[in-house]
């Protein structure tokens, strides 16, 4: 089985505008920038060096706070201390936060201030999960966590990849090829949690009534023919129409040797018309991502 390497991302979701002032508001530290102030403060708390520091006014109180990843440069393990610092409080959130040299930071500006931490999966049996924090009363408060995924931002929207196996080999009776499926995730600001977009299953008849449905099916068949040639004996389709104006098409291709290959296509549906700029990816998408993940966990 292939090793899984999921790049750990740190994403800051900033939901209402931020104070652009770089000054700590306490008179004693007025001449220091927020960044300089927290660089000095972290030295009092740990002997490890700053690897990444994200400074923002997360709670819109006029004072900036910092989330810091720290480790020793000579340490080989990809494990970091994760700290939260404000002008009035400090918290060590983790002693063994898993990161990689490819750690990135993304800002998302909308209505409130949140920060997403993704713990990477470096080896097959490692844990992979995501945590979302907000800042309240000068403390970091965890508002959401989910195993088996990492969240990321694309065009200021939340997405996640789910991992599954995309090729069924009859002689082994198990999925042999690892794949990942991309899901668009909805943020519920009132409940402060990630949710699936509502979805309904479409019958073949209902799907065929959407404009450009035949064009999309023909494009899929062309990609299947290009990949499998004359080895294909059967093609099965399943259709999901999602609340975010997208349609997912799950495809199972059976070949002459009895192997089954999972694929999916995601496209938009606007004014009852499907987009035809499609890419066939490996794996099948679940109807609901979080429901399926929680069923696996429980």
Listed as own residue / partner, the contacts of 134-141 with beta carbons closer than 8 Å and 24 or more positions apart are 134/58, 134/59, 134/192, 135/58, 135/59, 135/65, 135/84, 135/86, 136/59, 137/59, 138/59, 138/65, 138/86, 138/87, 138/88, 138/89, 139/84, 139/86, 139/89, 139/91, 140/67, 140/84, 140/91, 140/93
* Amino acid 19: pLDDT: 43
* Amino acid 248: pLDDT: 98
* Amino acid 7: pLDDT: 42
Q: Mean per-residue pLDDT for 183-199?
A: 93
* Amino acid 196: pLDDT: 96
Q: Mean per-residue pLDDT for 33-46?
A: 96
* Average predicted confidence (pLDDT) for the chain: 83
Strongest mean pLDDT among 75-89, 179-193, 203-217: 203-217
Shortest CA distance to 56 belongs to which of 25, 79, 35, 80? 35
20 CA to centre of own chain: 28
Task: Indicate if the pLDDT at residue 246 is higher than 80.
Answer: yes
40 compared with 79, residue with greater pLDDT? 40
Pairing verdict, β 9-14 and 104-109: parallel
**Torsional sign, CA 214, 219, 223, 226:** positive
Alpha-carbon distance of 165 to 173, in angstroms, equals 12
Shortest CA distance to 63 belongs to which of 91, 34, 38? 34
How sure is the predictor about 105, in pLDDT bands with cuts at 50, 70 and 90?
low
* Amino acid 5: pLDDT: 40
CB of 133 closer than 8 Å to CB of 68: no
Q: What is the pTM of this model?
A: 0.81
Alpha-carbon distance of 86 to 59, in angstroms, equals 11
């Amino acid at each position: 089985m292939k090793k899984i390497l999921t790049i750990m991302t740190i994403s800051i979701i900033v939901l209402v505008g931020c104070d652009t002032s770089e000054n700590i508001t306490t008179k004693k530290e007025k001449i220091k920038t927020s960044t300089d102030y927290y660089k000095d403060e972290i030295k009092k708390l740990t002997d490890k060096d700053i690897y990444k520091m994200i400074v923002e006014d997360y709670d819109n109180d006029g004072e900036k706070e910092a989330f810091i990843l720290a480790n020793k440069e000579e340490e080989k393990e990809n494990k970091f201390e994760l700290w939260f610092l404000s002008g009035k409080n400090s918290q060590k959130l983790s002693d063994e936060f898993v990161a990689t040299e490819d750690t990135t930071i993304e800002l998302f500006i909308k209505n409130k201030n949140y920060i997403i931490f993704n713990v990477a999966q470096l080896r097959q049996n490692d844990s992979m999960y995501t945590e979302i924090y907000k800042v309240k009363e000068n403390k970091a408060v965890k508002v959401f966590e989910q195993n088996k995924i990492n969240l990321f931002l694309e065009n200021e929207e939340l997405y996640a990849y789910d991992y599954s196996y995309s090729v069924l080999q009859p002689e082994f009776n198990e999925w042999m090829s690892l794949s990942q499926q991309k899901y668009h995730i909805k943020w519920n600001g009132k409940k402060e949690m990630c949710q699936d977009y509502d979805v309904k299953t479409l019958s073949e008849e209902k799907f065929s009534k959407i404009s450009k449905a035949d064009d999309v099916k023909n494009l899929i068949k062309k990609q299947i023919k290009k990949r499998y040639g004359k080895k294909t004996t059967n093609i099965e389709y399943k259709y999901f129409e999602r609340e975010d104006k997208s349609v997912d098409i799950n495809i199972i291709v059976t070949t002459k040797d009895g192997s089954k290959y999972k694929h999916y296509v995601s496209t938009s549906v606007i004014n009852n018309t499907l987009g035809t700029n499609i890419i066939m990816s490996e794996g099948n998408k679940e109807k609901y991502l979080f429901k399926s993940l929680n069923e696996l966990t429980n």
